[in-house]
């Protein structure tokens, strides 16, 4: 039984790592906003209001996940109301054994404003930004910068990002 669980865990971790790598994590060039828009089910600008850790059963394996809640200021793609809630692998604390950290997923801080490009939710009720951290942008004074870009070297205006998302959404 323990061996069977170890095989499931290894397969799940490998799948998530491969997905994150293909999506632009781990040193590969970040995908364009147009590519992120095409891959995302939901794109919105909003403030993170909570980050609550819980357990999720994924293929018989218990994983630590975080339930994030955002107030949505503007929805650019997808349907939904004024509040967006989603669950993502990993915890806000991260760490070397945290699956979200291992696959390059961003962590969201309550009180901070973001633009998120969320993938469709999977069977286990989990999602994450398209392109891992590349699909999450910090918003500050009308500008946006990718999460995980400590020098904020790739900033653009929110309006430019918004125009690209809306144009791509209507193709």
pLDDT at 25 over 90: no
pLDDT at 18 over 70: no
Q: What is the dihedral of CA 138, 134, 156, 73, to 10 degrees?
A: -40
pLDDT at 104 over 70: yes
For residue 30, the 8-state DSSP code is: P
Which residue pairs from 91-94 have beta carbons closer than 8 angstroms and sit at least 24 positions apart in sequence?
Answer: 91/53, 91/64, 91/65, 91/66, 92/51, 92/53, 92/66
Higher pLDDT, 28 or 103: 103
Confidence at residue 9, expressed as pLDDT on a 0 to 100 scale: 44
Detail the DSSP E strand segments found in the chain. Answer: 42-58, 61-77, 83-89, 113-118, 136-140, 143-146, 156-157
**Residue 132 and residue 139 in contact, taking contact as beta carbons nearer than 8 Å:** no
Confidence at residue 2, expressed as pLDDT on a 0 to 100 scale: 47
- Please tell me whether residue 165 adopts helix, strand or coil conformation: helix
Q: Which residues pair with 30 in a beta bridge?
A: none
| Residue at token pair 């293909």 | 22
For residue 45, the 8-state DSSP code is: E
Q: What is the pTM of this model?
A: 0.82
């Amino acid at each position: 039984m323990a061996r069977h669980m170890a095989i499931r865990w290894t397969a799940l971790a490998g799948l998530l790592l491969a997905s994150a790598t293909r999506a632009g994590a781990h040193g590969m060039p970040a995908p364009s906003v147009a590519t992120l828009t095409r891959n995302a089910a939901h794109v919105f600008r909003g403030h993170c209001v909570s980050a609550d850790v819980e357990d999720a059963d994924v293929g018989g394996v218990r994983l630590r996940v975080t339930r994030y809640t955002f107030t949505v200021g503007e929805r650019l793609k997808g349907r939904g109301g004024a509040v967006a809630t989603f669950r993502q692998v990993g915890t806000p604390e991260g760490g070397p054994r945290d699956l979200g950290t291992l696959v390059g997923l961003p962590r969201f801080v309550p009180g901070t404003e973001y633009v998120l490009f969320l993938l469709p939710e999977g069977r286990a009720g989990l999602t994450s930004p398209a392109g891992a951290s590349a699909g999450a942008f910090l918003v500050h004074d009308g500008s946006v910068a990718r999460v995980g870009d400590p020098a904020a070297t790739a900033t653009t205006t929110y309006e430019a990002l918004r125009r690209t998302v809306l144009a791509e959404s209507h193709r």
